[in-house]
Amino acid sequence: MATVLSRPRGPTKEASAARGPVLVDPRASIGSRRRREFVPRPIQRLLGPVLLVALWQILSTTGVFDARTVPPPTRVVSAALDLIADGSLQDHLLTSLLRVGYGLVFGIALGLSLALVAGLSRVGENFVDANMEVLRAIPNFALVPLLIVWFGISEVPKVTLITLAVAVAIYINTFSAIRSVDAGLVEAARSFGAGRAELIYRVIVPGSLPGFLVGLRLALTASWLSLIFAETINAKKGLGRMMTDAREYFHIDVVFVLIAVYALLGLLSILIVRFLEQRLLTWRRAYDGD
């Protein structure tokens, strides 16, 4: 009886060894794992806040929380719907968003420019770094009286306060990221004949991009915190003005609505930065949990 020899379907070990090591895309395992997730990752991250609100509702229903000081979520939602129905929430929110928007644009431009000047030059570091470290050590609200004296009670001191907070966060993290770029990569680029401009564009900018994005995340958070102090400067509109009025008239439900708005704006800011990290840092493989 003839013996039928089956031919191996895949390459033998000897053939694989002759071809050399097989290159594997490090993003392949991450992508396959994400495809197995039926619930999108951003929605999974909302599990914690949802459970917190559910616990809040349970404690309010059982009488553990006093409704006069800690209103239940249903009452807070009702107050939010009333503010949306009369258009006051949208009006004040738009004003605050414009202030934060201007502060972010000016602050990112200023902080990034100073970080490049100090990070790429020792002379620039001598003039810039100590001043920015001092500015970081000064509490943000301590600048409010000075800004009022210098610029009055217009929009300028409000936007300036946000700009300074954003610029400090961007500068500190970007400057540190520039100085943390691997010196071996810099020397390798120079040995291949890369000029000053190409060295910055090809090596330093990509190497410092993760640090800049960390600074952007902190800057977005700092912008909303600075907005609270900025809108104490005789603001006729804005979330801070709504918060002041609600506190004076003891509208606790409105206070909780505004706290929720600040929380949602902060969460949205984090999601924006995460989106930028996924698009701009595709070359970097990082640990994403098990």
Model confidence pLDDT, tens digit, residues 43-88:
777 787 788 888 988 988 888 888 888 888 889 899 999 999 988 8
pLDDT at 194: 76
Least confident of 9-18, 74-83, 134-143, 150-159: 9-18
Q: What percent of the chain is predicted at pLDDT more than 90?
A: 22
Give the mean model confidence (pLDDT) for residues 125-143: 87
The whole-model pTM stands at: 0.76
pLDDT at 18: 52
Q: Which residue has the higher pLDDT, 250 or 171?
A: 171
Give the mean model confidence (pLDDT) for residues 131-155: 85
Distance, in Å, from the CA atom of 118 to the CA atom of 164, rounded to the nearest integer, reads: 17
Residue 290 has pLDDT above 60, yes or no: no
Q: Are 266 and 221 in contact (CB under 8 A)?
A: yes
What integer best gives the mean pLDDT of the chain?
Answer: 81
pLDDT at 61: 85
Q: Are 204 and 166 in contact (CB under 8 A)?
A: no
Torsional class of 235: left (φ above 0), alpha (ψ -120 to 50), beta (otherwise): beta
Model confidence pLDDT, tens digit, residues 152-190:
888 888 899 999 999 999 999 999 988 888 778 778 888
Domains of the chain: 76-280 (1.10.3720.10)
Residue 9 has pLDDT above 80, yes or no: no
pLDDT at 104: 94
The whole-angstrom distance between residue 277's C-alpha and the CA centroid of its chain comes to: 10
To the nearest 5 percent, what fractions of the chain are helix, strand and coil? Answer: 75, 0, 25
* DSSP tag of 236: S
Count of beta carbons in the 10 Å neighbourhood of residue 273: 18
Inter-helix orientation angle 205-230/88-120, to 10°: 140
